[in-house]
Homo-oligomer: A and B are copies of this chain.
Amino acid sequence: MEKNNADEQQGQEEWISELLAISEEEKMTPKQLAILQAGIEIFSEKGYAAAATSEIAQRAGVAEGTIFRYYKTKKDLLLSIVSPAMTKMIAPFVLRNFDGVLDVPFDSYEAFMRAFMVNRLEFARKNFKILRIFVQEIPFQPALREQFIENVIGKVLERVTAITEHFKAKGEVIDAPTPSIIRFTISSVIGYLLARLLLLPDKDWDDAAEINLTLDFMLHGIAGPALRREE
């Protein structure tokens, strides 16, 4: 994770095909892949409404009509890009914990949060453009919003609540309202991701150090000696 070198390009196509394929068996044609790739680029550059299907076709190297063979409408293409990404983004929260057994494979809250940040940073880096589209379009696409509410607010929040309370019970997390704790935690993580990938992507980041710092802030706060509460 310390290596910031641009290996994003390498293996990107495979990632996309893996991420977006409805199922592993159903392989995509090269043209369909090119359309998706072009769609991701143009949508993230110009936004959905301002993106022209003709430009997507051109960048994909296919005829305009070909797009509509694979995707009935422009919106269909958008959802075909963003929807699977949302699923994968929250997959860690949904996949584990089958048959009701809470499965937190980490010794400590700190280890869990560190693994989580590393893992999601990696994911966000690989799917940066798609996530950008997702964030930009969620205010305008009811279909996306519904899916988001159902999955994230529904499943993820439930899971995260369970995890948080698990560590609360172990005394590793303060005894405060869980929703507030979750909001604070997620704010800190996403805040780092945004600064890292969106605001200052060109800065020379030391991810390991920054994650440690952020974790320390989250756990012990930023109060200096003068303000530290006696315990």
Contact = CB atoms under 8 A, between A and B. Distances in A.
Interface of A: 46-47, 49-50, 108-110, 132, 136, 139-140, 167-168, 170-177, 180-181, 183-188, 190-192, 195, 210, 213-214, 216-229, 231
A184 B218 CA distance: 9
Contacts of A173: 222-224, 227
A224 B184 contact: no
A221 B224 contact: no
A127 B175 CA distance: 34
Contacts of A214: 180, 184
Contact of A139 (B136, B184, B185, B226): B136
B185 A187 contact: no
Contacts of A177: 213
Nearest to A231: B228
Nearest to A180: B213
A184 B185 CA distance: 11
Contacts of A110: 227
A229 B223 contact: no
Contacts of A171: 224-227
Contacts of A227: 108-110, 171-173, 219
A220 B216 CA distance: 10
Contacts of A219: 221-223, 227
A172 B49 contact: no
30 contacts: A46-B140, A50-B140, A110-B227, A132-B139, A170-B224, A170-B226, A171-B224, A171-B225, A172-B224, A174-B222, A174-B224, A175-B224, A176-B213, A176-B222, A180-B214, A180-B217, A181-B217, A183-B192, A183-B195, A184-B214, A185-B222, A187-B187, A187-B192, A187-B195, A188-B188, A218-B222, A220-B221, A220-B229, A225-B231, A228-B231
